[in-house]
Amino acid sequence: MAPTSKAQHDAVTRYKQKNYDRLELRTQKGQREEIKAHAERIGESMNAFLLRAIKETMQRDIEASDKQVKEKTT
């Protein structure tokens, strides 16, 4: 693969800054490799796995919260 030019690199950087947020995650030593290995075992990138895990947990939390509200009102 040919090296990218500075203009190409700058264009990619601007695109990422415009279209994505960055999120920093700190883990205990060794846990990163466990997460990476798990993601690879299920055929996902580490980023895709973490985003899916967050999304599924948020959905579960919303459903549990909705259930609690419903139980309090009935």
Following DSSP, what letter does each residue of the chain receive, concatenated?
-PPPPHHHHHHHHHHHHHH---------TTHHHHHHHHHHHTT--HHHHHHHHHHHHHHHHHHHHHHHHHHHH-
pLDDT at 5 (0 to 100): 96
**In the chain, domain spans:** 29-74
pLDDT at 64 (0 to 100): 93
pLDDT, averaged in runs of 10, over the chain (74 residues)? 90 97 96 98 98 97 89 78
Q: Which residues contact 4 (CB under 8 A, 6 or more apart)?
A: 12
pLDDT at 70 (0 to 100): 79
pLDDT at 69 (0 to 100): 83
| Entry pTM | 0.77
